[in-house]
Structure 1
Amino acid sequence: MVVPKGGTLISGSQIEERFDMLSSRIKELGLPREQYERYLDLRRHGTVKHSGFSLGFDHMVLFATGLTDIRDVIPFPRSCGKANN
């Protein structure tokens, strides 16, 4: 769910777990297969489907309050040394 000036409030996805599909996409995109072997090994022997979602609480507060900067609604600074004194 995307809201005006607030960004994404809710999103979700499912990870591709099929070995043959992953393998063919790596080849199709010309990626170095050896960098993905460990990940492919996990999928080669079977795996469960992965999926999830996220709730953008900070973006919801931004939208609800009408503020324009996400830094004004986060409960604590995300980066050391970036907080205003």
Structure 2
Amino acid sequence: VRAMDVLFPKIGEIIGGSEREENYDKLMQRVKEIDMHIDPIWWYLEIRKFGTAPHAGFGLGFERLMLFVTGMTNIRDVIPFPRTPNNADF
């Protein structure tokens, strides 16, 4: 797996991303190295056995982006829908 992080000063990680390993032989070598059981992931290995396109993705911390854009110093000030205990009445 190839991975990357984008770090902003005074905020920390704002974006995290990775590219999955699609090479079947490399995956099998790693499975053997760590003595992992194949049963739970057989379907994933089977997909890779016959070839697959390289694939990657990333996640953006929206609140952290807003923190940077607005210049605020506390992330609680930019959370649009706070997720705090007892915040929502059911």
How would you bin the TM-score normalised by the shorter chain?
Answer: 0.7 to 0.9
Match of 1:28 in 2: 33
Match of 2:50 in 1: 45
Bigger relative contact order, structure 1 or 2, given CA contacts below 8 A and separation 6+? 1
Aligned AA for 2:57?
A: G
Is 2:87 the partner of 1:83? yes
- What is the TM-score with the length of structure 1 in the denominator? 0.75
Q: In structure 2, how many angstroms separate the alpha carbons of the residues matched to 1:21 and 1:49?
A: 14
Is 2:69 the partner of 1:65? no
**Structure 2 unpaired stretches of 5+:** 1-5
Match of 1:9 in 2: 14
The answer on whether the counterparts of 1:11 and 1:53 sit within 8 Å (CA) in structure 2 is yes
The answer on whether the counterparts of 1:15 and 1:50 sit within 8 Å (CA) in structure 2 is yes
Of 20-29 and 4-13, the range deviating more from structure 2: 4-13
**Structure 1 unpaired stretches of 5+:** none
Aligned AA for 2:73?
A: G
Question: 1:18 is matched with which residue: 23, 27, 42?
Answer: 23
- What is the alpha-carbon root mean square deviation over aligned residues? 2.4
